[in-house]
């Protein structure tokens, strides 16, 4: 696909060889400057994530990568994909797009989004939804509020002009994802009723809250994901993980999981709730410029000791126990972890804007919305 730009044409081509895939992976370094809040990902992790033979997502999805070129220079990228597992679970026929990065160049952005739309049209998709990299189980959404704040672990950050580029193509809001700021140095913000519910969990319901065991990480992650699947299954955009994806999830979490912040609620040996907060390792990654070698590991060890925030990545309760105070008990344990570790600030989410129960709970503990990521959609234009 080509579009004009004065005397130099913008050309969008599918990635077809390892050299272009390397350009696709490293293109964000061209887009973001050192004085931005963007955090460089680890290159090794990005290579694995985008590797069709290593990422189990590709076993149930079809994906195409595109680069936008102006002359010999790559100036933008996007992926288009179809997730059969999402179709089966949600009963949709969405076409998806993501991994979008682009200069402040409406013609290049239009060409990239147009290439993704055309690819999705050829596969019978009637709607294009994104950005999803690759699903709601991965970092997703376009940052539309909160650009002044640093992104936390597993959270995207984009230039403010991206919103103009995306909406200029005719994409409109499908769903907003909310991030809530929570001060952890004030346990009194947890309502007395919530503290009372938490205090009576074991006595009234036989429910005990404990920390995850690192030595049994795979089993613990499975317990957490059992709750995740049960609690979020009916939510907008949710897609269950496969067995292979569960194993990959556990591998990804191993380096950043801290038992102080990983909780399981159990009754008679059955998991009824879980909470996973992750120390904000973005504070480490921003010092490494994508590489652990040769000396990045040393910088990482030094920076790790200075992490002063956490991200409450997920907190959920299986449906039959959602009114028993389990969530309150998990919140209380997170406040206790903050007291032990000295961490005073957390961000929770994302949380769907339509999840009224969870958003009310965040308000009840004194949290406030500080970031908003948006997922967009539009009908795929018919072929000419």
Q: Is residue 304 part of a domain?
A: yes
In order, the DSSP letters of 5-72 are ETTEEEEEEE--SHHHHHHHHHTHHHHS-TTSS--PPPHHHHHHHT-TTT-GGGGGEEEEEEEEEETT
Q: 359 and 213 in one domain?
A: yes
Q: Is residue 348 part of a domain?
A: yes
Give the pLDDT confidence score for residue 381 in this predicted structure: 80
Q: Is residue 185 part of a domain?
A: yes
Q: Is residue 383 part of a domain?
A: no
Give the pLDDT confidence score for residue 377 in this predicted structure: 97
Choosing from 179, 208, 242, the residue where a domain stops is 179
Total count of domains within the chain: 2
Q: Is residue 239 part of a domain?
A: yes
Give the pLDDT confidence score for residue 36 in this predicted structure: 79
Give the pLDDT confidence score for residue 303 in this predicted structure: 65
Q: What is the model's pTM?
A: 0.90
Q: 141 and 24 in one domain?
A: yes
Q: What is the CATH number of the domain that holds 317?
A: 3.40.630.30
Give the pLDDT confidence score for residue 199 in this predicted structure: 60
Give the pLDDT confidence score for residue 358 in this predicted structure: 84
3-state secondary structure of 120: helix
Give the pLDDT confidence score for residue 259 in this predicted structure: 84
Residue ranges of the alpha helices (H) in the chain?
18-26, 28-31, 43-49, 84-90, 106-121, 161-168, 192-199, 201-205, 217-232, 243-253, 282-285, 296-304, 326-341, 356-364
Give the pLDDT confidence score for residue 55 in this predicted structure: 96
Q: 186 and 77 in one domain?
A: no
Give the pLDDT confidence score for residue 56 in this predicted structure: 96
Regions of the chain with pLDDT less than 70: 1-7, 34, 186-200, 202, 292-303, 384
Choosing from 127, 147, 179, the residue where a domain stops is 179
Burial class (CB in 10 A: 0-12, 13-18, 19+), 353: middle
Q: 63 and 187 in one domain?
A: no
Q: 87 and 186 in one domain?
A: no
Q: 248 and 173 in one domain?
A: no
Give the pLDDT confidence score for residue 12 in this predicted structure: 96
Choosing from 147, 179, 211, the residue where a domain stops is 179
Give the pLDDT confidence score for residue 288 in this predicted structure: 82
Q: 131 and 46 in one domain?
A: yes
Q: 110 and 25 in one domain?
A: yes
Q: 154 and 248 in one domain?
A: no
Give the pLDDT confidence score for residue 301 in this predicted structure: 63
Q: Is residue 380 part of a domain?
A: no
**Domain of 271, in residue numbers:** 181-373
Give the pLDDT confidence score for residue 221 in this predicted structure: 84
Give the pLDDT confidence score for residue 90 in this predicted structure: 92
Q: Is residue 39 part of a domain?
A: yes
Q: 207 and 146 in one domain?
A: no
Q: 283 and 301 in one domain?
A: yes
Give the pLDDT confidence score for residue 226 in this predicted structure: 87
Q: 128 and 215 in one domain?
A: no
Q: Is residue 382 part of a domain?
A: no
Give the pLDDT confidence score for residue 70 in this predicted structure: 93
């Amino acid at each position: 696909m080509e579009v004009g730009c004065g005397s130099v044409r913008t050309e969008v081509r599918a990635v077809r060889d390892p050299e272009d895939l390397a350009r696709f992976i490293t293109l964000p370094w061209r887009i973001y400057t050192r004085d931005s809040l963007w955090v460089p990902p680890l290159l090794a992790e990005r290579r694995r994530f985008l590797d069709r033979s290593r990422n189990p997502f590709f076993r149930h999805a079809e994906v195409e990568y595109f680069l936008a070129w102006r002359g010999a220079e790559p100036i933008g990228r996007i992926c288009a994909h179809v997730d059969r597992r999402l179709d089966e679970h949600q009963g949709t026929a969405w076409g998806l797009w993501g991994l979008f990065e682009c200069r402040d160049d409406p013609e290049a952005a239009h060409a990239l989004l147009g290439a993704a739309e055309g690819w999705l049209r050829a596969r019978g998709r009637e709607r294009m939804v994104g950005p999803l990299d690759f699903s709601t189980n991965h970092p997703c959404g376009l940052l539309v509020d909160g650009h002044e704040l640093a992104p936390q672990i597993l959270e995207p950050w984009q230039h403010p002009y991206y919103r103009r580029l995306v909406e200029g193509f005719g994409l409109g809001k499908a769903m907003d994802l909310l991030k809530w700021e929570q001060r952890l140095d004030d346990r009194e913000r947890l309502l007395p009723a919530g503290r009372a519910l938490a205090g009576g969990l074991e006595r009234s319901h036989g429910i005990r809250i404990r920390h995850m065991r690192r030595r049994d990480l795979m089993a613990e992650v499975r317990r957490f994901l059992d709750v995740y699947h049960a609690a979020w299954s009916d939510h907008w955009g949710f897609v269950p993980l496969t067995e292979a994806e569960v194993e990959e999830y556990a591998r990804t979490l191993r380096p950043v999981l801290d038992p102080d912040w990983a909780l399981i609620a159990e009754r008679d040996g059955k998991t009824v709730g879980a909470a996973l907060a992750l120390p904000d390792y973005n504070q480490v990654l921003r010092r490494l410029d994508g590489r652990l070698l040769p000396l990045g590991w040393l910088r990482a060890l030094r920076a790790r000791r200075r992490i002063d925030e956490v991200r409450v990545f997920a907190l959920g309760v299986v449906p039959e126990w959602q009114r028993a105070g389990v969530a309150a008990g998990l919140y209380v344990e997170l406040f206790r972890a903050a007291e032990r570790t000295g961490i005073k600030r957390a961000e929770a989410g994302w949380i769907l804007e339509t999840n009224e129960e969870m958003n009310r709970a965040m308000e009840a503990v004194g949290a406030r919305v500080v970031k908003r990521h948006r997922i967009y959609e539009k009908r795929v234009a018919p072929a000419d």
